[in-house]
Amino acid sequence: MGLDVERDERFQRREWKWQRGGTILLVVVVVAALAGLLGTGPLSWTERDSPDGVVTAAFDRLTHHEADDTMTLAFGPEAVSDGTVTVELTGTWPGGVDIQGISPQPVEQRAVPGGLVLVVAVDDVDRVDRVEVTVGFRAQEYGPLRGEVTVAGRSVSFSQFVLP
């Protein structure tokens, strides 16, 4: 003597399909997070170089609103002129972030239309292999921020996406 239970097999198949879709979506989100596509991880950090390699920008593809973050700018010896490197940051990035600090401290920093200019002194010009400037910042806007770093007529473009 068995129980007489009605089954709706069409409904059951749809439910299983939705359940599999949800499981796949959850796995994709976890893998993306572990890979760094939603925050810190191996795919989150990237570098952009000018065609001749004189200018390099290393940064996170994703950053979070009001979170401390850094960008490292590196320049070859060709960028040094009269013991300084003059860096121009333009685009939506300079206006979309609050710069917390620059290391080494620039000898001059000024606003220009669409961005800012940093003049960084270089010690021991004859022995310079690469000049590195680290910019600490906090993003103040959400969404994509695009920028361009120009030094000695050479430039490299970059973009970051700001998450909540």
**Over the stretch 58-103, which tens digit does the pLDDT of each residue have?**
999 888 899 999 999 999 888 888 889 999 999 999 999 999 999 9
Question: Rounded to two decimals, what is the model's pTM?
Answer: 0.77
* 28 domain-assigned: no
pLDDT digit string, tens, across residues 122-151: 887 666 688 899 999 999 999 999 999 999
Amino acid of residue 123: D
Q: What is the pLDDT of residue 94?
A: 94
- Please indicate, yes or no, if residue 35 is contained in any of the structural domains: no
> Per the domain annotation, does 133 fall within a domain?
yes
- Put residue 113 in one of left, alpha, beta given phi > 0 → left and psi -120 to 50 → alpha: beta
Q: What local confidence, expressed as pLDDT, does residue 39 receive?
A: 65
Residue 12 lies in a domain: no
Task: Give tens-digit pLDDT for 100-127.
Answer: 999 999 999 999 998 999 999 988 766 6
Q: How many domains is the chain partitioned into structurally?
A: 1
pLDDT (0 to 100) of residue 109: 92
Q: Is 72 part of a structural domain of the chain? A: yes
Query: What are the strands of the beta sheet with 97-103, ordered from one edge?
Result: 45-49, 55-60, 68-75, 131-139, 97-103
**Is 157 a domain residue?**
yes
In a domain, 82, yes or no: yes
pLDDT category of residue 1 using cuts at 50, 70 and 90: low
Q: 89 and 160 in contact (C-beta within 8 Å)?
A: no
Question: In CATH, what number is assigned to the domain containing residue 64?
Answer: 2.60.40.680
* Structural domain contains residue 101: yes
> What range does the domain containing 109 cover?
45-163
